[in-house]
Amino acid sequence: MAASSDSMFWQHRSMSADTVARDFALTAQAFADTFVQYVAAAHDGEHTAVVEARRRESCALIWAAVEATFSASAFTEDERLKAVPLVRDALVPAWRKYRVDSEDFITRVRERSAAYLRHQDPFSQLKTATGFMSEMVSSLDADAVKLLPVKTLTALLAHRMLSDVRRLNELKSSYSIT
């Protein structure tokens, strides 16, 4: 029996932006937890405001990396406008655990992420990660900077962004994002 002409054509499947965002946010949060442990671990005797500032900077950098990753992906503007706010909405509740005293923690994360995005290179996740880490180093207190493995964190961030761009592009090639 001959195959019908309908089944011979490739059918593009769809995936909801909500599913993309939920899956992306799960791994992004795991990365954020690791990143915060490097940058903003609380040490005995440190003032809570200093620890919170480090955590806020870590979250701002991670949020900027999420935005830069989606921008560098093959997602259309419409798909990004659907997925990125959903990623943010999924991450915000988890990031509240980093808040020490401040009621405006999330607002300040969003504001600070704009400073990181000024260093975005749309053609190179490595240059973007390097710029992001330079911004972080310039904004942290001297005690934190002394303890930072900057080259390692830059490599981790660049690798994360590259792998996320690849993963998003694979999704885009297999699914239409709705």
Residues 142, 126, 83: CA angle, nearest 5 degrees: 100
Q: Tell whether the model's pLDDT for residue 5 goes beyond 70.
A: no
Question: Is residue 77 predicted with pLDDT exceeding 60?
Answer: yes
13-30 tens-digit pLDDT: 899 999 999 999 999 999
Question: Span 38-52, mean pLDDT?
Answer: 83
Q: What pLDDT, on the 0 to 100 scale, is given for residue 8? A: 46
CA distance 56 to 71: 22
Report which of residues 102 and 155 the model is more confident about: 155
pLDDT at 64: 97
User: Cα separation of 117 and 132, whole Å?
Assistant: 8
Domain ranges of the chain: 15-170
What does each C-alpha distance from 27 to 4, 148, 164 come to in angstroms?
41, 23, 10
pLDDT at 135 over 60: yes
Among 6-10, 78-82, 84-88, where is mean pLDDT lowest? 6-10
Average pLDDT over residues 119-127: 95
Q: What region does 45 belong to: left with phi over 0, alpha with psi -120 to 50, or beta?
A: left
- Residue 10 in this model has a pLDDT that exceeds 60: no
pLDDT over 70 for what percent of the chain?
92
- What pLDDT is recorded for position 50? 87
Separation of alpha carbons 178 and 42, rounded Å = 41
Cβ atoms of 106 and 92 closer than 8 Å: yes
- Identify the burial level of 93 via C-beta atoms within 10 angstroms of its C-beta, where 0-12 means exposed, 13-18 middle and 19 or more buried: exposed
| 7 has pLDDT over 60 | no
The residue type found at 99 is R
